[in-house]
A and B are shown apart, each in its own frame.
Chain A
Amino acid sequence: MINFFFSEAFKLQHKLRSWLGPLLIMILVLVAFPLSIDISQYDLNKFYFSVIVVSLLMISFLATESIFSEDYEDGSLEQLHLEEKDFYKIILAKILTYVFFIGIPMALIGSIFSFANGVSLVEIPKIFIILSISTLILFNVFAFGSALSINKGSMLGVLASLPLALPAIVLLGRGVRTVQYGGGFFEVSALMAGVALLVTAIMPIIISATLKTHLE
């Protein structure tokens, strides 16, 4: 498992476009949005979180689009199947690597931008925690979408899995409200962490079956 994680990290490290691209796009969206509309700082503070949440959703969507397609197209997936038979560990390692290299930095960027838009410094760790948990859920869901249509352009499957991501977004919205208006942060974040763990445990099994079907 650790070997798979390091292998994925090694690959991602050399694919600058795959991890730096989504992060730069997120920064661009978060910077460009307030500049593109004529609005007071007071009003912006009220709904800037929505921009962070939507950009998190879209960038997660973008970052996972080719998570399996490269290995599928170059034959690496066949080789991994021969070595391991079960893709579970490989998929789990891949998703966790993507979360570590793209998801966590995205959560960090979101936290920094929320600070710049009126959130107090003491609330920043809370924002970082709920954004990080959300990326874990979103990356799992969109990785499934990517696996679903791996041989027909992964974007199609990622789009099809979009409805599955909506409950995560609703939960994230609820978490943001607890940070903004106080009360119940622990309960909501615990619920989100529970959902994230469940999704992380189950989704690789489903993705593994999906990829095996495609290999046939």
Chain B
Amino acid sequence: MQLVTANNLGYSINDKRLFHNLSFSLNTGCGLHIKGGNGSGKSTLLRIILGLTSPSKGSIEFSNPDLQVSYLGHKNAIKHYLTPMQNLELIFQSTALQNAIHWLHTLGLKKVQDELTANLSFGQQKKLALIRIFANQTNLIILDEPFVGLDNPARDLLNEFLQKKLASDTSLILTSHIEPNIVCSELVLPDNTND
């Protein structure tokens, strides 16, 4: 079943055309890896799919208007003045919180769970941000460069998690310069750096 369909998408900013006439669809339980050079519009395309940015042309259609989406972009959406545990308490409630705490421990953040998030390393902050993806039950996962800053065990864990999610009918759209170890189709955006 088609979950997301993009029809002739185009996006321009300051007279610079990032992409045009882009059409694709994503089925339930399938993954889409969006590839392209820096500035090719990968993040913008993700934001268009999420409804955060309006396309200059074309449209995005969802088969289910109440689709549950979890997203992690360039910004981690965590509070630096709170501890990792307090961040989780802010984001999750009851059962989901227990699940989030399980992931906090799985990702090796137990020993820093009561330290200020501002004092954690970039990679540890990224792991904390990824718990939003790990602990949420959604139909569609959208990730923008999720592997950046992660050590090898965390990368393997993320690959394994995403592969399991795909097997359980969750769909995935991601951009990554680091090749993910999961089965998914590819969409390559044209390089605009010489335009």
Hey, which bits of chain A sit against chain B, CB under 8 A? 3, 7, 10-11, 14-15, 70, 73-76, 78-79, 81-82, 85, 215-216
26 contacts between A and B (CB under 8 A): A3-B93, A10-B86, A10-B89, A10-B90, A14-B79, A14-B81, A14-B82, A15-B81, A74-B77, A74-B78, A74-B80, A75-B75, A75-B76, A75-B77, A76-B79, A78-B50, A78-B71, A78-B77, A79-B132, A81-B52, A82-B52, A82-B69, A85-B51, A215-B52, A216-B52, A216-B53
Q: Which residues in chain B, 7-21, are within 8 Å of chain A measured between CB atoms? A: none
CB of B81 within 8 A of CB of A79, answer no
Query: B53-78 CB contact bits vs A (8 Å, 1 = yes)?
Result: 11000000000000001010111111
B79: chain A residues at CB < 8 Å are: 11, 14, 70, 74, 76
B77: chain A residues at CB < 8 Å are: 74-76, 78-79
CB of B90 within 8 A of CB of A7, answer yes
Give chain B nearest CB distance to A59 CB in angstroms.
22
A14: chain B residues at CB < 8 Å are: 79, 81-82, 86
Question: Please, how many angstroms separate the alpha-carbon atoms of A14 and B80 in the complex?
Answer: 11
B82: chain A residues at CB < 8 Å are: 11, 14
Q: Total contacts A to B, CB within 8 angstroms?
A: 49
Q: Considering only CB atoms and an 8 Å cut-off, how many residues of chain B contact the other chain?
A: 22
CB of B75 within 8 A of CB of A78, answer yes
Question: Please, how many angstroms separate the alpha-carbon atoms of A81 and B51 in the complex?
Answer: 9
Question: Please, how many angstroms separate the alpha-carbon atoms of A85 and B50 in the complex?
Answer: 11
Give chain A nearest CB distance to B131 CB in angstroms.
13
Question: Please, how many angstroms separate the alpha-carbon atoms of A78 and B72 in the complex?
Answer: 10
Give chain B nearest CB distance to A36 CB in angstroms.
35
CB of B73 within 8 A of CB of A78, answer yes
B81: chain A residues at CB < 8 Å are: 14-15
Question: Please, how many angstroms separate the alpha-carbon atoms of A11 and B54 in the complex?
Answer: 31
- Which 10 residue pairs of A and B lie closest in terms of their CB atoms, listed nearest first? A75-B75, A75-B77, A79-B77, A76-B77, A216-B53, A215-B52, A14-B81, A14-B82, A74-B75, A82-B71
The closest CB in chain A to the CB of B129 belongs to A75
Question: Please, how many angstroms separate the alpha-carbon atoms of A216 and B47 in the complex?
Answer: 9
- The listed residue with most A CB atoms (<10 A of its CB), out of B54, B71, B89, B93, is B71
B75: chain A residues at CB < 8 Å are: 73-75, 78
B53: chain A residues at CB < 8 Å are: 215-216
Give chain A nearest CB distance to B94 CB in angstroms.
12
CB of A78 within 8 A of CB of B52, answer yes
The closest CB in chain B to the CB of A215 belongs to B52
CB of B73 within 8 A of CB of A75, answer yes
Question: Please, how many angstroms separate the alpha-carbon atoms of A75 and B75 in the complex?
Answer: 5
Question: Please, how many angstroms separate the alpha-carbon atoms of A76 and B77 in the complex?
Answer: 5
Question: Please, how many angstroms separate the alpha-carbon atoms of A75 and B126 in the complex?
Answer: 13
Known A-B contacts A11-B79, A74-B79; A79 and B71 likewise in contact (beta carbons under 8 Å)? yes
The closest CB in chain B to the CB of A81 belongs to B52
Question: Please, how many angstroms separate the alpha-carbon atoms of A76 and B53 in the complex?
Answer: 16
